[in-house]
Amino acid sequence: MTDRGFDLVDIIDLNRTPSFGALWLVELAFASRKGNIFKAIDWYY
Amino acid sequence: MHCSSRDMLKRAKKLEGGFKSAAVDYLLSLKFFQRVARFLLENRTQNLEFRPFLGKAFNANTEPIFGLLPNLDYKPEHIVDVSAHRGAWTISAMRLFPDAKFTLFETQCGLLSGNKALQANNVTLNFLGVGPKSSEAFFIEHARQDSRFFTWSENEAETSNSAQQLLTINSLDDYFQKHQDWPRPQVLNIEGKRRDLEVLKVGAQMIKSCDIGFVLATVLNRKSPDTAPR
C-alpha cells in the first residue's frame, strides 16, 4: 500500500485464533497521501 | 474413489463447522439481534469476553475511524465494499454516512439479497467476483461461508475437497469505467482473501484514486491467506 501512495492510519481489528490466541489476521486502514485527510491530527491532546 | 473413515470424519467436522458458522452469521444478520448487541456493547459489556462476538453483528470495530472522519470534515460520497459478505461493514458505514452511495461486490448472492437495509436507492449490489483482470476463475465453496475464495490454479481447484464452480471475474477498473454515473469511489474496503487481494498488487487506477482503503492482511496465516480455521 505504501508503494501505491497510502499510509497506515488505523488498526481496525486483530483477529486471534480461538485455539492458541495467536494473531491470525489484521484489518488495517490506509489513507492516501494525496488526500491529506488526517493532516489536522498532529497533537495528542 | 476410496474414502477412508478418517477422511469421512474430517469432512463431517468441516460440515459441522460450516453449519455452525452459517447459523451464527444468520443470527448476527438479524436487526433485533444487532440492536441487542449494540445496547450491550455500548452500555453493559466494556470488559466482557463475548464483546468480540457481539461486535461482529455490525462491525463495531470500524466505528472509531468512521466516527473520526466527519470531525475531519471528510464525508465520502461513494463507498465500495469488495467481498461484502452479509454487508455488516457497509451497514456500519451507512450509519455514519447515510447520504453516500454504496457499491457492493459479493459472489454469493444469497448472503446479501435478504438484507433489507441494503435495498435502498443509494446501494448497488453486484453479485460478481473481483480480480486483477476481467476473466473467469474457479470459486471454491468451502464449508465456512466466510472462507470461500477464487483460485486461478487448476491444480488447486482439482485437489480441493470442496465444491467449485467457474465464475466471471471483473476488474475494478473495467467495472467503474462502465459505471461512471456516481461520483468517483473515495473509500474502498477489500475483505477478500487470496486472489481477491491481487487487486491491490496490480495497483488498479480506481484504488489509486481512493482516499481511504481498508484491507484484511494475514499475520501467522502465511500458507493460506484466508479466514479458514486450521
The DSSP result for A18-37, as a single string, is TTT--EEEEEEEEEETTT-G
Mean pLDDT of all residues in B201-217: 78
Pairwise pLDDT comparison (B163 vs A44), residue with the higher score: A44
Which of B81-85, B129-133, B147-151, B198-202 has maximum average pLDDT?
B81-85
Helix (H) / strand (E) element for B177: namely helix B172-178
Cell numbers that stand for B26 in this block: 444468520
Pairwise pLDDT comparison (B115 vs B90), residue with the higher score: B90
Pairwise pLDDT comparison (B197 vs B29), residue with the higher score: B29
Q: B215 and A27: CB-CB below 8 Å?
A: yes
Q: B213 and A15: CB-CB below 8 Å?
A: no
Q: A28 and B207: CB-CB below 8 Å?
A: no
State pLDDT tens for residues B117-128: 788 889 998 888
Q: Which residues of B sit within 8 Å Cβ distance of A? A: 61-62, 64-65, 69, 72, 74, 191, 200, 203, 207-208, 210-221, 227, 229-230
* Phi, psi for B167 (deg, rounded to 5): -125, 160
Taking contacts as CB-CB distances below 8 angstroms, the residues of chain B near A31 are: 211-213
- CB within 8 A of B99, min separation 6: which ones? B75, B77, B122
* pLDDT score of B79: 94
Contact B212, B77 (CB under 8 A): no
pLDDT band of residue B172 (cuts 50, 70, 90) is confident
Residue B211: which of A1, A28, A35 has the nearest Cβ? A35
Average the pLDDT over each of A34-38, B156-160, B181-185 and give the range with the smallest value.
B156-160
Mean pLDDT of all residues in B158-186: 79
* pLDDT score of B141: 62
Contact B50, B56 (CB under 8 A): no
State pLDDT tens for residues B19-39: 556 676 667 667 677 777 766
* pLDDT score of B1: 42
Q: What is d(CA B92, CA B99) in angstroms, rounded to the nearest whole number? A: 13
Residue where the block lists cell 483482470? B133
* pLDDT score of B230: 32
Whether chain B has a CB inside 8 Å of the CB on A11: the answer is no
Q: Tell me the residues of chain A between 16 and 35 that have a Cβ less than 8 Å away from chain B.
A: 17-18, 22-32, 35
Mean pLDDT of all residues in B39-43: 62
Pairwise pLDDT comparison (A15 vs B43), residue with the higher score: A15
Residue B32, amino acid: F
- CB within 8 A of B86, min separation 6: which ones? B25, B28, B29, B111, B112, B115
Whether chain B has a CB inside 8 Å of the CB on A13: the answer is yes
Residue of A nearest to B71 (CA): A40
Pairwise pLDDT comparison (B39 vs B183), residue with the higher score: B183
Residue of B nearest to A41 (CA): B72
Number of H helices, E strands in chain A: 0, 2
Tell me the shortest Cα–Cα distance from A35 to chain B, in angstroms.
Answer: 6
- CB within 8 A of A8, min separation 6: which ones? A1, A28, A29, A30
* pLDDT score of B78: 94
Q: A12 and B65: CB-CB below 8 Å?
A: yes
* pLDDT score of A4: 80
User: How, if at all, do strands B101-105 and A23-32 pair?
Assistant: unpaired
| Closest to B96 in 3D by CA, of B111, B82, B113, B79 | B79
Tell me the pLDDT of chain B averaged across its residues: 71
Residue B88: exposure state from Cβ atoms within 10 A (0-12, 13-18, ≥19): buried
Mean pLDDT of all residues in B3-25: 52
Complex-level ipTM? 0.91
pLDDT band of residue B44 (cuts 50, 70, 90) is low
Taking contacts as CB-CB distances below 8 angstroms, the residues of chain B near A38 are: 72
Mean pLDDT of all residues in B222-228: 50
Residue B72: which of A3, A24, A40 has the nearest Cβ? A40
User: Kindly report the CA angle at B108 between A26 and B134, in degrees rounded to 5?
Assistant: 85
* pLDDT score of A31: 93
Q: B64 and A10: CB-CB below 8 Å?
A: yes
Q: What is d(CA B114, CA B127) in angstroms, rounded to the nearest whole number? A: 13
Query: With pLDDT > 90 as the criterion, what percentage of chain B qualifies?
Result: 7
Tell me the pLDDT of chain A averaged across its residues: 85
